Amino acid sequence: MSFDSVDDPGRVFRPADVRSLRDIAYGDIREAILEGTLPPGQRVKERDVAAQMGISTTPVKEALRRLEQEGLVVSQPRRGAVVSRLVQIPVEEIEEIRGALEAIAARLAAERMTDAERDRLRLLTEEMTVLTLEMSHPETRIDEVAEFHRLIRNGSRNDFIVRFVDTLTPFERVHRKEYLDPAEARRILEEHQRICAVLLARDGLAAERLMLEHFNLEREYWRQLDRSKLSGDGVAPGSVDTVRRTRRARKARVKS
């Protein structure tokens, strides 16, 4: 799908189904923004969206208010709703902030998670293991990874971390490339397995360290991806694994 002009977009939104009209409008507009179909600076005209979806403008207005609260849309005088420039923030910058907060959350969760939450984390990790080894249902794997991190954040019992990270997630791109790359998906799984193990063991310091390392490697993956786009090459196989081996070698030299 593409747009004919900034103020006269082509058909982007499908007719509504039986779900909540407000939720449909919110989900479809949000997806169009995050996928780049609605680029930064693009006007989102309520009447055009409503007409394309076959609904009234009321649910669209409510959806745009919600997107404005998330920072994906801004209201401008005489233009109305416009896609925010914030969606251009590099994902590695978001991962840097998330990594620091998620690491603290992991340390707190090691002490504060309930037995039921630990059981759910263990089962979730087992499910992710099967899905990753089979390399099946990438969308389900992505959803379960999101739940894995959400479960840890909620287990921290720190509302600030939970709410602040929730404000960051809309600006993240879905990590499809990571989960469609078998080698990268397995490395991510191994990191999640180690994090799960130390959380079940109630080792807060280890959980904090592993979570921070996990996000540092995520950032390195996205840097490699950005460099490959600029050079026209693909991400070198094992590039993040190379970073990990280099760090281990440096630590070994320091210890010796």
- Residue 256 domain-assigned (yes or no): no
Ranking 83-92, 168-177, 239-248 by mean pLDDT, the lowest is: 239-248
Residues 65 and 173 in one domain: no
Residues 61 and 155 in one domain: no
What's the domain count of the chain? 2
- Residue 184 domain-assigned (yes or no): yes
Q: Which CATH number does the domain housing residue 180 bear?
A: 1.20.120.530
Q: End of a domain among 37, 58, 87?
A: 87
- Residue 51 domain-assigned (yes or no): yes
Contact 110, 198 (CB under 8 A): yes
Range of the domain at 184: 91-242
Query: What DSSP character marks residue 171?
Result: G
Contacts of 190 (CB under 8 A, 6+ apart): none
For residue 36, the SS3 value is coil
- Residue 1 domain-assigned (yes or no): no
Q: Give the model confidence (pLDDT) of 10-24 as tens digits.
A: 677 766 554 588 999
Q: End of a domain among 46, 63, 87?
A: 87
Q: What is the mean pLDDT of residues 17-32?
A: 83
Contacts of 55 (CB under 8 A, 6+ apart): 16, 21, 24, 25
Q: What is the mean pLDDT of residues 180-209?
A: 93
- Residue 181 domain-assigned (yes or no): yes
Residues 79 and 199 in one domain: no
Long-range contacts formed by 239-245: CB under 8 A, 24+ apart: 240/184, 240/187, 241/183, 241/187, 243/217, 244/187, 244/217
Residues 57 and 181 in one domain: no
Residues 191 and 109 in one domain: yes
Residues 107 and 230 in one domain: yes
Give the confidence band of 102 by pLDDT, cuts at 50, 70, 90: very high
- Residue 132 domain-assigned (yes or no): yes
Contact 102, 195 (CB under 8 A): no
Provide the pLDDT for residue 177.
53
Residues 69 and 182 in one domain: no
Q: What is the mean pLDDT of residues 94-105?
A: 94
- Residue 2 domain-assigned (yes or no): no
> What six digits make up the tokens of 148?
């894995």
Residues 191 and 135 in one domain: yes
Residues 142 and 72 in one domain: no
Residues 100 and 216 in one domain: yes
Residues 70 and 158 in one domain: no
For residue 35, the SS3 value is coil
Q: What is the mean pLDDT of residues 179-188?
A: 78
Provide the pLDDT for residue 196.
98
Provide the pLDDT for residue 59.
93
Provide the pLDDT for residue 237.
43
Residues 136 and 111 in one domain: yes
Q: Give the model confidence (pLDDT) of 121-138 as tens digits.
A: 999 999 999 988 887 777
Q: End of a domain among 57, 87, 117?
A: 87
- Residue 252 domain-assigned (yes or no): no
Q: Which CATH number does the domain housing residue 25 bear?
A: 1.10.10.10
